[in-house]
Chain A
Amino acid sequence: MLFNSLSFVVFLVIVLALYYSKIFSWTGKKRMLLFASYIFYGLWNPPLVILLWISTVVDWITGKKLATEENKRKRLYWLLLSMFVNLGFLTFFKYRDFLLDNFTTVVNSYGYGYQTTHMDIILPMGISFYTFQTMSYTIDMYLKRTERAKTFLDFALYVTFFPQLVAGPIVRAQDLISQFYEEKRATVNQFIWGLFLLTLGLFQKVVMADTLLSDTVDTVYGSGKILNFWDAWMGTLAFSGQIFFDFAGYSTCAIGIALMLGIILPDNFRYPYASLGFSDLWKRWHITLSSWLRDYLYIPLGGNRHGVVRMYAALMITMLLGGLWHGAAWTFIVWGGLHGTYLILERLQRQYLPFKITKWNGMFLAFTTFTCVNITWVFFRAREFKTAWNMITSMFYLNPDGEKVLANFDILKVGIVIGLLFICHWFMRNTSVEAVSKKIHPWALGVVWASMFFLIVIAQGSGEQFIYFQF
């Protein structure tokens, strides 16, 4: 079920009505939320709920064993079982064809005529998100960094909680399960603020991403032509806006819906396009994934504890796998590799060419970071290297006679939207929507809210899927 759909409106109203009715005890409410979460997921593809159940049961048993088992070897086996099941599902559903294709290419390069057939398996929505979330629980249990979930119901709800089930934020067990132990009710202000965040998230998704930017991106990246400088840049800038609004929109909706239930979810975006460098970017973009990768990959790989070379290697491996997490394609790996390279270069710059960031050079640095990020988005969006290469060459003005596929109005529209996005991120980079709204007169905030709602209604999004669902 999509947040930007009529069925979700009805679903949410029913869930809220049941949640705040006096029919259920707190345990009953949690059961209702769990059942609702399965409905939320199952209305897309009912059989795939079984994967959620398997993941839930395996990790619950693993957690239970890890809570009592002291034998180191046995503890490791339990952890490996959990990782085998979770990563096994992920590999089978997401990476099987990619691995098989690469295996075939390598084998055939030695002259074998090996042929494979794709199984045309559907990718379970959100599998990368809930897999990482449940794995964080078992790894933390193994490392004794978190308590075992008190009941199976609490744990099952942690795995399946519908607001963040299919596209995050990826929440750690200690941050969410503990919230289920005692009855939660949103205060009136929390409820209204949650509703505001839901509206803001839908506005980002339906109006900004789908209505204002998606067509330009599709026109440019689907043209199959060598493009003009302006078209290549505008298509890529539009994608940078689309993916931000789409994903941040989803996260904002998730946070808002959870807040309406009295549950607090962590921030996932903090104005990333005003980042001052790439370390800063990864503290602001998809925060819950980057902190997951830091805690469960970068640090176990050695982090910065074993010298510079090992640190750079850990950094690069982390970013390459982070790229692969997004999709089973070499273009995503290149995207991760570019980010890894940027991070290494930034650390080298800090070591050999340090400079103080002031308000004067800060905006220039943010703009440079944003420009470099756009180069990486080309590989993220292009389906093939040929398309990516054509785009990159056009963006570096190497195809001065490239074709024009965008109308003047499209260029103007993207220019205004992305310009405003960048400026907005710059001015908001050290604050939050909540802090700003506290300074605004209720009337002004009401007008902003109504304007967003009106634009959502007249945009009439045709229920486009969120981009990150495919990851």
Chain B
Amino acid sequence: MQLKQTLIIAFALSIISISAWELYWRSQGLQPNIDDNKNLWANQRAKLENFNNKTVVFIGSSRILYDIQLDIWEKETGTNSIELATQGASPTPVFRDIVKNTTFNGTLIVGITPPLFFATTNPKAEFIRRSQSLVDYYKKRTYAQIINHKLSVPLQQNLAFIRDGDESWDSDVDLKTLLKQIHIGTREGPAYPPFNNFEDISLDRHMKMPERMVTDTAYANTVKKVWTSILSGDFPPPDKESTINAFVDLAKKFKKRGGNLILVRCPSSGLFKEVESKAFSKNLFWDELVAKTKAKAYNYQDYSQFKDLFCPEWSHLAAKDAQFFTKELIKIMKADGALTNLKTN
């Protein structure tokens, strides 16, 4: 065997083919980016082990992740943020983890997205399991997994085809995801429309809506199609009583040890707003949660300045509107005396 020759050929062809693959995806408009995943979440969770009196923790779903701009938050309040919101999931498992497994007693801001929050407390349900899996991953992650993540970051930052998302909605371009996009007939039922990426996240989980979602309406509409497809599916009725009770129980424990709990309802529009208004009316769900929790609470529907904010795909704010929302929300909270660990200069 002429293995040296073989190795040289293999090496050269590998470099050529991988370079071509990278160039192809760049020509398709893909740029290197960081994916929101369990490791980014676990890194944030690790920060909570060493919280101080300037720490503010955010939990909730993707809306608070997109809509609260952490750079503005930290600048305007002089606090250090820890972003533990989980996309497409209920915040209750994360809240339970904070109450049970930490001594954190600072400001905790909880984003309430009604279809996710009031859905269920069933641990096997997707909305619960997803956030619980992040909590479990943090507890169980190995040193090898920590090192793998650290090594993968420079690759994600420099190569467009390297993606590291965990969820089916992450528009990865790995082989498995690409094969999943091939459909022949509809044997297992109609295929979901492709879920195009609209994430721009930093290593400390500061999420921004990409500009393309604002400038390219057709692209934003592809995400709306996905929401329409999901929202037209069959869902069990919300389990208001048990979801509120579970949350209130945790809230009592958190406040008892001196924690400052704040609830926030972030904007939605279009089909989402329609569905949420009908199935999760404010007075029946939000008002009851606030009354039972006895926490400071801010619902965008109560403030005129938040009426016309732009959600390019109905559920999350465009970057500029998120900046405005963050600034205005801080003003409202400050005026209300809700933030207890503001900068004192």
Contact = CB atoms under 8 A, between A and B. Distances in A.
Contact of B151 (A2, A10, A189, A462): A10
B13 interface: yes
Interface stretch (B65-73, B168-176, B288-296, B325-333): B168-176
A450 B13 CA distance: 6
Interface stretch (B48-56, B95-103, B184-192, B267-275): B184-192
A45 B145 CA distance: 11
Given A6-B152, A446-B13, A189 B147 contact: no
A460 interface: yes
A215 B176 contact: yes
A403 to B, nearest CB: 9
A5 B188 contact: no
Contacts of B155: 6
A23 interface: no
Interface in B7-62: 7-14, 17-18, 21
A210 B177 CA distance: 12
How large, as a class, is the contact surface on chain A? 35 or more
Given A1-B144, A458-B175, A408 B9 contact: no
B1 A43 contact: no
Contacts of B162: 460
A44 B147 CA distance: 11
Contacts of A211: 174-176, 179
Interface string A429-453: 0000000011000110111011101
A155 B177 CA distance: 45
A404 interface: yes
Main secondary structure of the interface of A (DSSP, over half): helix
A446 B175 contact: no
B6 interface: yes
Given A45-B142, A408-B184, A463 B13 contact: no
Contact of A7 (B7, B148, B179): B148
B283 interface: no
Given A408-B184, A462-B166, A193 B174 contact: no
B183 to A, nearest CB: 6
Contacts of B145: 463
A416 to B, nearest CB: 12
Contacts of A42: 143
A310 B21 CA distance: 61
Contacts of B179: 211-212, 409, 413
Main secondary structure of the interface of B (DSSP, over half): helix
B144 A44 contact: yes
B182 A409 contact: yes
Contact of B184 (A192, A404, A409): A409
A9 to B, nearest CB: 8
A215 B188 CA distance: 15
Contacts of B191: 407
Nearest to B7: A192
A188 interface: yes
A454 B15 CA distance: 9
Nearest to A195: B7
B164 interface: yes
B324 interface: no
B188 A442 contact: no
Interface in A172-215: 188-189, 192-193, 195-196, 207, 210-212, 215
A189 B148 contact: no
A413 to B, nearest CB: 7
A210 B179 CA distance: 13
How large, as a class, is the contact surface on chain B? 35 or more
B75 interface: no
Given A45-B142, A413-B179, A443 B161 contact: no
A446 B142 contact: no
A423 interface: no
B163 A460 contact: yes
B20 to A, nearest CB: 9
A463 B39 CA distance: 13
Interface in B275-330: none
A444 to B, nearest CB: 9
Nearest to B178: A458
A406 B188 contact: yes
Contact of B187 (A407, A437, A443, A446): A407
Contacts of B13: 446-447, 450-451, 454
Contact of B164 (A192, A442, A447, A462): A462
Contacts of B143: 42-44, 46
B12 to A, nearest CB: 8
Given A407-B183, A408-B184, A458-B21, A5 B4 contact: no
B2 A442 contact: yes
A454 B18 contact: yes
A44 B188 CA distance: 39
Contact of B9 (A46, A195, A443): A443
Nearest to A125: B142
B5 interface: yes
B184 A454 contact: no
Contacts of B11: 450
A207 B178 CA distance: 13
A454 B14 contact: yes
B147 A43 contact: yes
Contacts of A45: 142
Contact of A460 (B2, B3, B148, B175): B175
Interface in A142-172: none
A408 B7 CA distance: 39
A443 B11 CA distance: 12
A192 B163 contact: no
Contacts of A2: 144
A106 interface: no
B3 A192 contact: yes
Interface string A1-36: 110011100100000000000000000000000000
23 contacts: A2-B144, A5-B144, A5-B148, A45-B142, A189-B3, A192-B3, A196-B6, A211-B174, A211-B175, A212-B179, A407-B185, A407-B187, A407-B188, A408-B185, A413-B179, A438-B1, A442-B6, A446-B6, A446-B7, A447-B13, A449-B7, A450-B12, A460-B164
Interface of B: 1-14, 17-18, 21, 142-145, 147-148, 151-152, 155, 161-164, 166, 172-176, 179-180, 182-185, 187-188, 191
Interface of A: 1-2, 5-7, 10, 42-46, 188-189, 192-193, 195-196, 207, 210-212, 215, 404-409, 411-413, 437-438, 442-443, 445-447, 449-451, 453-455, 457-460, 462-463
Q: Which 6 A-B pairs have the closest CB atoms?
A: A446-B9, A450-B13, A449-B10, A6-B151, A43-B144, A192-B3
Given A44-B143, A189-B3, A445-B6, 5 more contacts: A7-B148, A43-B142, A446-B8, A449-B9, A449-B10
